[in-house]
Structure 1
Amino acid sequence: MKIEIWSDVMCPFCYIGKNNFEQALAKLPFKDEVKVEWKSFQLDPTLDPKETKNTIEYFKEKKGFPEAQAQQMIGQVAQMGKGAGIDFNFEKALITNTFSAHKLLHLAKKYNKANEMEEALFIAHFIDGKNVGDLETLVSLAETLGIDKEEAKQAVTSEEFDYGINQDILEARNNGVSGVPFFILNGKYAVSGAQPVELFENALQQTYNETVTPLKNLSDNGASCDTDGCEI
């Protein structure tokens, strides 16, 4: 069973959704039969990759929120994070363009380490306050996962993965995805947002049940052909 997840590194709800999804999956007996594919999405591609802003500055400039409202919103998200086992450190988080971070994610896919890379990027951004648009930071993250330093540097500084990232974004648009996280379960069902563990668990179980259920023949055997010929 295949699960596709669209996400952006600077989206706190994507981190919460990831944790809740993984908690739900861990409870299910078929967890080893599930293949997860991380897909790229950019919440704000207009950000300058050479600049960073703190979270309060970003909300004030992008959303036009007064500082008090921005602080209140951040506090609410932080509380949600605690419920998912995440201690967000919004005071240190650096908002920047995430396209380079997505390049690293696509590189990690080559080594079946996309999930580990997604987690590493979330921790770097939301917990450690690192600049996930910075070349040295990204190369260092790759090295921690056993990915060659020079290959990581090449991936981030070249256009090798640009097409794949843009295809993910286009696919999201074609699927009507306007916000993340967004989960597509085996190409059949969608789950939008950082849903509770119980919802993910039920959705995964329902999808799996329908995936493994044998086809039910709704008719009597009629005239047909097979490899041995045709019969009436």
Structure 2
Amino acid sequence: MKIEIWSDVMCPFCYIGKNNFEQALNKLPFKDEVEIEWKSFQLDPTLDPKETQDTIQYFREKKGVAEAQAAQMLGQVTQMGKGAGIDFNFGKTLITNTFSAHKLLHLAKKHNKSNEMEEALFIAHFIDGKNVGDTEVLTALAESLGIDREEALQAITTDQLDYEVNQDIQEARNNGISGVPFFVLNGKYAVSGAQPAEVFENALQQTYKEAVSPFKDISGENGASCDADGCRI
């Protein structure tokens, strides 16, 4: 069973959604049969990759949200994060263009380490207050996961992975995905937003059940039938 997740590094709800999703998945007996693919999405591609802003400044200048209102919103997200096991550090968070971070994520995918890289990027951005648009920061994250520094540097500073990132973004647009996180379960069902773990658990169980059994019984009742153990009326 395949789960595709559209996400952006600077989206706190994507981090919360990831933790809730993983909490649900880890409870299920078929967790090892689930393939997860992280997909790129940019909430604000207009940001200058050479500049950073603090979170309050970004809300004030780019979104037109008053400082007090922005602080209140961040407080609410912080409380949500605690419920998902995340200690957001919005006082240190640096907002910047995330395209290079998405390129690194696609490189990690080639090494079967995309989930680890997604987590590393979230921690770097939301906990450690690092600039996830900075080449040195990104190459250090790659090295921490055993990816060669020069390979990471090549991926980040050239356009060799631009197509993959843009393909994800275009696919989201084609499917009407306008917000993240957005989870697509086996190409059939969707779960949008940072839903509670219970919602993910139910959705995963339903999707897996249908994936294992390709037929859906719409008869409503068990009719007379026979199987290997005998016949029933």
Q: TM > 0.5 between the two?
A: yes
3-state SS of 2:120 partner: helix
Amino acid of the structure 1 residue aligned with 2:19: N
SS at match of 1:48: coil
Q: Is the 8 A contact 2:117 2:145 kept in 1?
A: yes
Give the equivalent residue in structure 2 for 1:58. 58
Equivalent in the alignment of 1:43: 43
Partner of 2:229: none
User: What CA deviation, in whole Å up to 9, does each residue of 1:56-107 have, x standing for no partner?
Assistant: 0000012111110000000000000000000000000000000000000000
Q: Distance in 2 between matches of 1:148 and 1:203?
A: 37
Unaligned runs of 5+ in 2: 219-233
Map of 1:143-162 to 2, 5 A cutoff?
143-162=143-162
Could you list the structure 1 runs, at least 4 aligned residues long, displaced by more than 4 angstroms after superposition.
none
| Alpha-carbon distance in 2 for matches of 1:214, 1:8 | 33
**1:39 counterpart SS class:** strand
**Counterparts of 1:13 and 1:214 in 2: how far apart (Å)?**
33
Provide TM-score, normalisation by structure 2: 0.92
Q: For each residue in 1:11-58, what CA deviation from the matched residue of structure 2 results, as whole angstroms up to 9, or x when unmatched?
A: 000000000000000000000000000000000000000000000000
Partner in structure 2 of residue 29 of structure 1: 29
Q: How large is the RMSD of aligned CA atoms in angstroms?
A: 1.1
For the pair 1:18 / 2:18, whether they are aligned, the reply is yes
Identity of aligned residues (%): 81
Partner amino acid for 2:25? L
Q: TM-score, normalised by structure 1?
A: 0.92
For 1:82, the aligned partner's letter is K
Pairing 1:1-232 to 2, within 5 Å after superposition:
1-215=1-215
Secondary structure at 2:177 match in 1: coil
1:215 Cα deviation from its structure 2 partner: 3.5
* Structure 1 gap segments, 5+ residues each: 219-232
**Structure 1 residues 156-184: Cα deviation after superposition (integer angstroms, max 9, x where no partner):** 00001100000000000111100000000
**Matching residue's letter, 1:18:** K
Q: Summarize the Cα distance change of 1:189–1:214 in structure 2 as closer, same or farther, 3 Å threshold.
A: closer
**Could you tell me how far apart the structure 2 residues matched to 1:103 and 1:142 are?**
11
Distance in 1 of aligned mates of 2:63 and 2:74: 13
1:173 aligns to what SS in structure 2? helix
CA distance in 2, matches of 1:182, 1:95: 21
